[in-house]
Structure 1
Amino acid sequence: MDNVSRILVFTLSGLNGTMENRYMLFSLTALCYHFILICNITVLFSIASDKELHEPMYIFLCNLCINALYGTAGFYPKFMYDLLSPFHVISYAGCMIQIFVIYSSALCDFSTLTVMAYDRYVAICRPLQYHSEMTNQKIVKCIVFCWLAPCLCIALLVLLTSRLTLCGSIIEKLYCENWAVVKLACYSTTANNVIGYIIIIVYFGHAVLIVCSYIQLIKTCRKSKEGKYRFMQTCMPHVLVLLNFTAALLFDVFYSRYGSTSFPQSLRNFLALNFLFVPPILNPLIYGLTLTKIRRQVIRLFFRKIYFA
């Protein structure tokens, strides 16, 4: 038993059935990753370069984009390396780091979307108190909350996982995932399961808060044409991003725990990549195309670059 517990390297078996197309997959992945970088950095730079956009809603959007860059950095470089390598392995420490980065990023997205819903609630339902409520100090506290709570939750999960005695080293995914490592344990994983479900319940509570805030928003916005316009301009992008991210994350959580190995490998890979592929691309596009101020700033910067070139 001592020999099987001292695992230093994990094997990622998710790419085993697709290696004949690895060069095409590498090209598509590299294109996708560069597109994610361009979209999110463009939104970040547009907001940073325009003082009119230095408002709470846009600052929280910056946090969403920074988090997308952080989370995808935990997956795409390693995945592209694996596509060109004959051996798909990752060190034990590297696996724990990848779990921490990918899933703290996922929870940070949810926290940020919750804070953004609160910001829209105060702006539309309590407009007279907005500037006194959303002070710089409050914004900093919200951003710290967005990062600190997810990092503490995932750090606890990783710590519990690292204490497990493992009887295997093959992870049937494209990347390290906490539940996939826990399934390799030789003994009981009750503590990991309990903490995992507590975290799911806590972030389900985030979703409840978002829904409650939007019920109030819809009630308020129905009273006037101006309210309806503000809702469509600033709240609909948030709703689309929230639905997009929630669906992608639920795919990953439920498939990781209850998915069937009888599914084709390509379908399993798609389900595994959904929340690492769709939200980081669509989020900046949704906000960049629907929020007028950001769209104008992006166009202004684009034409300025062409002019000076």
Structure 2
Amino acid sequence: AAVAAAAAQQQHYNRIASNNGTTGMINAGGAVPRGPAANEISQIGAGEPGISDENRRVLEWIAQLMKHNTRETALLELSKKREQVPELALILWHSFGVMASLLQEIISVYPLLNPSQLTAAASNRVCNALALLQCVASHTETRGLFLSAHIPLFLYPFLNTTSKSRPFEYLRLTSLGVIGALVKNDSSEVINFLLTTEIIPLCLRIMETGSELSKTVAIFIVQKILLDDIGLAYICQTYERFYAVGTVLSNMVNQLVEQQTVRLLKHVVRCFLRLSDNARAREALRQCLPEPLRDATFSSVLRDDAATKRCLAQLLINLSDNVVEPPTNQLQLH
């Protein structure tokens, strides 16, 4: 098995070295194989006569992640290249010690969170590490391994911060991006994992107090959880969960009356629409849906957004008193 894993890994490095854009398959069996060490990565790059200077630098930067004195530059350069190297997620995950180095970067920032001592330089450095983790979280072949290792939990201390300074806001936004990359592909495995964690209350707080960008990513994550049947059932299972989500969404509507931000509004409408698919939540929303969603408050901001207008119209149809509901335990949101 070790020989097979090493051979498969060699193929990945050969692909990146020859600039082949196809994505190879690796039979990891759910485990993390011991890939090449840092010096072996450099040797692979040096041993390929046809390798371009650009791809040789990529391999060198990966090797430099293992050394503390060269890691900062390597993080910066690799984060710039992550969209251009299709196999980068596989290389990062299966290279011995690289993921541990990225987690070391994350953990090293924890002491700076409370009291707030995070500098712009420290924030930029750890965000470059987070960008590489997002690359791993996005890849179909490494996403499951990423979850199995519970790596998202290492990001939660960042999401739990409240400082509004730019370094902290950037840190929260980049951390949300990693979670957003996980939920983007509508995987029940991802949703099941997240429901065992504190991601919903963390996102709800950011939806209330974060910057517009952070609010947008946070509500996108909540929306993706709601769109999954298990996620919807989880949130509507108890009054407390429904109340928490519904209250934050209602508060966002009231804020949007002043701000009129279509990017946020479309997610709020879709979250309410999805909640209306649940019978108990639908009955509660008939009593508590924010009035600005019922009248023409947002007509101007939605003038050019036909999709969101349709969602809002469907929401109001779902909550129409003409729809007969079967007897059920009612949720009430006041």
Q: Where on the TM-score scale, by shorter chain, does this alignment land: which range?
A: under 0.3
User: TM-score by structure 1 length?
Assistant: 0.27
User: TM-score by structure 2 length?
Assistant: 0.25
Larger RCO (CA within 8 A; separation ≥ 6)? 1
Larger Rg computed on CA atoms: 2
Structure with the larger helix share: 1
